[in-house]
Amino acid sequence: MKITMFESYEEMSQQAAERVAAHIAEHPDTLLCFAAGETPMGMFRILAAMQEDGRIDLSQARFAGLDEWVGLGPNDTGSCIQVMHDAFYRPANIPLEHIHVFDGLAADLTEECQKMENWITACGGIGMTVLGIGMNGHIGFNEPDVPVQNGCIVCDLDDTTKAVSIKYFGQPLPVRQGISIGLGSLIQAREVVLLANGARKSEIVHATVHGPVSNRVPSTLFRDHLCTTLLLDREAAIQIQKE
Ligand code: F6R
């Protein structure tokens, strides 16, 4: 894993967007998998602007939604699908038929997993994924101690994730599970970018870089992956810089 630090969130986001642009220039019909959440919002704004003024051409790319809260759908504030449509798919004019997401409202979650796996296979695997790191080191909804497996998983949410979820919903919601592309499939992506910003992430960034490699902290599993780059702003890097 390569680590690059930036003075500001804006610079980190710019670098993430430029990496996506470079990947697209080489593989126009790639499959991209982006996390929702607060961390990639700057990158989404920059990518939508690049698409608007022609610096990037996302017209042939395909998209796989990384994860979803079980029980939430597109009309629920804070659902991953709603966040992704508002922040990225719509502003970047991505055709709906190029996007496959989990339906968090589906009665049969095993079937949802299978449908996502079929989409990933049909698109030739994940070309590039841009991921956020949860406060507990989760990646997507691969929570601490999740089995490292290919394909997709339904995972019970950790208490930290339940507590943090209020920031997306604006109110406490009784979310208990998440559905997510599994760690095995993400690690097999041709290119992985992990993003973290802000002082509140500095502790988990330290664990990601220096802690034991274990599914106890899923983000550590990317450390030995040569195609992974960790992009940080100055505040998220504070604790690793003390080493
Ligand atoms: C969201 C997702 C999560 C977030 C992580 C960080 O789709 O996959 O794993 O990336 O919880 O969230 P933020 O960016 O809100 O700090």
Percent of the chain surpassing pLDDT 90: 96
**Span from the CA of 228 to the centroid of ligand 1 (angstroms):** 17
* 101 touches 62 (CB < 8 A): no
Q: What is the mean pLDDT of residues 231-241?
A: 97
* 73 touches 104 (CB < 8 A): yes
Q: What is the tens place of the pLDDT at every residue in 23-66?
A: 999 999 999 999 999 999 999 999 999 999 999 999 999 999 99
Q: What is the tens place of the pLDDT at every residue in 137-187?
A: 999 999 999 999 899 999 999 999 999 999 999 988 999 999 999 999 999
pLDDT in the model for residue 146: 94
pLDDT in the model for residue 68: 98
Q: Which of 23, 85, 138, 206 is catalytic?
A: 138
Neighbours of 83 (CB within 10 A): 20
Residue type, 209: V
Q: Which residue has the tokens 């890097």?
A: 237
Which structural domain range is residue 72 located in?
A: 2-241
Which residue's C-alpha comes closest to atom 8 of ligand 1?
A: 140
Q: What is the CATH number of the domain that holds 200?
A: 3.40.50.1360
What span, in angstroms and rounded, lies between the C-alpha atoms of 189 and 37?
20
Q: What is the mean pLDDT of the chain?
A: 97
**Span from the CA of 85 to the centroid of ligand 1 (angstroms):** 16
Q: What is the tens place of the pLDDT at every residue in 81-100?
A: 999 999 999 999 999 999 99
Q: What is the mean pLDDT of residues 206-234?
A: 97
Q: Which of 68, 112, 143, 158 is catalytic?
A: 143
For 152, the enclosing helix (H) or strand (E) is strand 152-156
pLDDT in the model for residue 198: 98
Phi, psi of 69 (to 5 degrees): -75, 125
Q: What is the mean pLDDT of residues 8-12?
A: 98
Q: Is the CB of 80 under 6 A from ligand 1?
A: yes
Residue type, 6: F
pTM: 0.98
Residue 14 has pLDDT above 80, yes or no: yes
Structure tokens belonging to residue 15: 């670098």
Q: Is the CB of 33 under 6 A from ligand 1?
A: no
Count of structural domains within the chain: 1
pLDDT in the model for residue 243: 72
pLDDT in the model for residue 189: 97
